[in-house]
Structure 1
Amino acid sequence: MVRKDYNVPVMDLLGPSLEDLFNFCSRRFTMKTVLMLADQMISRIEYVRTKNFIHTDIKPDNFLMDIGSHCNKLFLIDFGLAKKYRDNRTRQHIPYREDKNLSGTARYASISAHLGIEQSRRDDMESLGDVLMYFNRTSLPWQGLKAATKKQKLKKISEKKMSTSAEVLCKGFPAGFATYLPYGRGLRFEEAPDYMYPRQLFCVLFRTLNHQRDYTFDWTTLKQREHSRQPLQVGRVSRPKRPQVSKHESRNRRSRADERSSICFSPNLDILVHMYGGQWLWTTIYLV
C-alpha cells in the first residue's frame, strides 16, 4: 500500500544485543563464538569507516543479531555519538585536538579518549579489543572501581587501563588477543587501520583451534539443548485491548485511515520470548 500523504519511518526489526546474549549464556562465551563475532564486528566497524564516520561507542549493547533466516548476521547500531573523521569531498582528516570530553562508554573507551584526545579510527579498534576481552574474561580489571564522584571514577578507570598491559589483560588466552590489543593502541591519530590484519589474525587462530565456521553460536546451542529437553508449548496470542472511545470519536476515526496492527513471530525469535518473561513480541503501526 502506498500513501503519499504520510511520512512513515521504517526500521529493521533486530534481535537481542550481544550483552543480552552474553547474560543469556550465563556470561560465558566459548572461544569459537568470540572469534566468529570478532570477524563480523571488525567488518561492521570497517564499513562505517568507508562512509567517513567513526562510531566512538563500541560496546556489546550496540551490536545486535538479526532475526529470521539471517539470525547469524551481526548489526552495529546507535550512531548518536558517531562523528566524521574526514571530509567527504576533500578527504581531509580532522585535526588533532586535546582537552576533549570523554564520549562513549568509559568501560570500553580507548586510553586516548580517557586522556581527552580527539577520537579517530584507531579508537574504535582499541575499544573492540576491550569488548573481546570482556567476553573472554567475563569482566575487565577496571570494572567495579569505587569513587566518591564520577570524575574520580573516570580517573581511576583511566589509570587502571594504562597500568594494565596487554599481556596481563590477555593472560590465559590465545596469543592472538595479546597481539591485537597493542596494535589497536599503537595506531597513530591519522593512521588508517589495516582491518584485514586482525581478521587474518583471528582466522588463523580459529583454524588452529579446529573450529568449524558454521555460525552456530553459543546461544543457538543452548536453545537447541533446551528444546530437546522440553516439549514445544504453543500459547494463545490475544490482540491488545483498544482504548474506550465515544460514539462521536469513533465515527471520526472511521473517516481516517484504518488502524493496522500485525504480530511478528518467528521460531528464531523464541530467544527473545524466553528472555523477556515469555511475553510475545508485538509490532504495532498506527496510521493516523
Structure 2
Amino acid sequence: MDLLGPSLEDLFNFCSRRFTMKTVLMLADQMISRIEYVHTKNFIHRDIKPDNFLMGIGRHCNKCLDSSVGKRKRSLAVSSSQDPSFSGLNQLFLIDFGLAKKYRDNRTRQHIPYREDKNLTGTARYASINAHLGIEQSRRDDMESLGYVLMYFNRTSLPWQGLKAATKKQKYEKISEKKMSTPVEVLCKGFPAEFAMYLNYCRGLRFEEAPDYMYLRQLFRILFRTLNHQYDYTFDWTMLKQKAAQQGASSGGQGQQAQTPTGKQTDKPKPNMKG
C-alpha cells in the first residue's frame, strides 16, 4: 500500500479549472507513457480519466509498483522516468484497475476477438465512440479516451457534459450522440492542431492495431518545443503553491497558504462493472 498525491481532477480544481498549455503538454507526455506501460503488460485500462492519474508525493515514488489484487485484475501505480531531476513529486501514476481487461495472451500474444453488443464500461464522459457503440475495447480506446481528457483540460469542459435525461441509459445515449456529432476539428477549435491530429489518429486505429506511442508523444513534444517551453516539471499547481508560500513568508507567516488536495492510497480498486 502506497500513499500517492492528489489526482489530476483534484489539481485541476485547485488551479481553478484552468491548466496552461505547458502543463497540459507535460502531462500528456507522461500519460501516454503510463498507458503504454500498461499495454505492454497485456492489459487495457478501460477507465482513463483525470481521477485515475495521481501525482507522486516524494522521492520514494520513482519506481513501478505492481501488486496483485485478485486472480486476474491488477492495481498498478506506474512510473518509469530515468531523469535524475525528475522527483517523485513530478511523477504521474495511473491507478484503479477494477475495470482493466487482458487484451492478449501473455505467451501466444493472441489478441482478444472483435465483438459487439458489449455494455459500456468506464466513464461515459471520456469513453471512446466505439465503446459507446458496444464494440469490444482494445488499446485504441484507452488512447482515444486520453484525447478527451486532454481536451477537457484545454477547454475546462467537454460539449457532452451536463446533458439531462430521465435515465442513465438515455443519458449515455445523449452523450454518445453528441460525441459522434461533434467533429474533432470543432472539439479542438482554438487549440493547436496537434490535439485534433492525436484524436483523428486514435479514431483511425484498427481493433488489434498497436498505437504508435512514440509518434503521439512526439506530436506534443515538438509542439512543446515550438512554444519555447522548458521541461522543468514546473506545473501550474507548483507555481500556485510557491506563490502562496512566498505570500505567507512576506506576511510573517500569517498569510493563508494554498491548501493542496490530499493524497490517496492505491490499494482500493473500485468494484468491477460488466463489460
Normalised TM-score (structure 2)? 0.82
The one-letter code of the counterpart of 1:202 is F
Please give the per-residue CA displacement for 1:125-157, whole angstroms capped at 9, x wherever unaligned.
000000000000000000000111111100000
**C-alpha displacement of 1:117:** 0.3
Which residue is equivalent to 2:12? 22
Q: Structure 2 matches for 1:241-252, cutoff 5 A?
A: none
**C-alpha displacement of 1:222:** 0.5
The one-letter code of the counterpart of 2:36 is E
Q: Which of 179, 194, 197 is 1:179 aligned to?
A: 197
Which residue is equivalent to 2:165? 147
**Runs of 5+ unmatched residues, structure 2:** 60-87, 266-275
CA contact (8 A) 2:6 2:264 kept: no
Identical aligned residues as a percent: 82
Distance 1:274 1:35, change over 3 A: closer
Which residue is equivalent to 1:61? 51
The one-letter code of the counterpart of 1:46 is E
Q: Secondary structure at the match of 2:238?
A: helix
**C-alpha displacement of 1:34:** 0.2
Q: Counterparts of 2:261 and 2:52 in 1: how far apart (Å)?
A: 18
Q: Counterparts of 1:274 and 1:142 in 2: how far apart (Å)?
A: 29
Which residue is equivalent to 2:130? 112
Q: Counterparts of 1:157 and 1:282 in 2: how far apart (Å)?
A: 30
1:158 and 2:176 correspond:
yes
Which residue is equivalent to 2:148? 130
Q: Secondary structure at the match of 1:167?
A: helix
Q: Secondary structure at the match of 2:2?
A: coil
Larger Rg: 1
Q: Which of 190, 197, 221 is 1:203 aligned to?
A: 221
Which residue is equivalent to 1:85? 103
The one-letter code of the counterpart of 1:178 is A
Q: Counterparts of 1:35 and 1:171 in 2: how far apart (Å)?
A: 17
Residue-pair matches, total: 233
Which residue is equivalent to 1:39? 29
Superposition RMSD in Å: 1.8
Q: Which of 100, 118, 133 is 1:100 aligned to?
A: 118
Please give the per-residue CA displacement for 1:164-184, whole angstroms capped at 9, x wherever unaligned.
111000000011101111111
The one-letter code of the counterpart of 1:16 is P
Q: Secondary structure at the match of 1:64?
A: strand
Normalised TM-score (structure 1)? 0.78
Which residue is equivalent to 2:73? none
**Runs of 5+ unmatched residues, structure 1:** 1-10, 235-269, 284-288
The one-letter code of the counterpart of 1:67 is I
Q: Counterparts of 1:181 and 1:66 in 2: how far apart (Å)?
A: 28
Please give the per-residue CA displacement for 1:53-80, whole angstroms capped at 9, x wherever unaligned.
0000000000000012310000000000
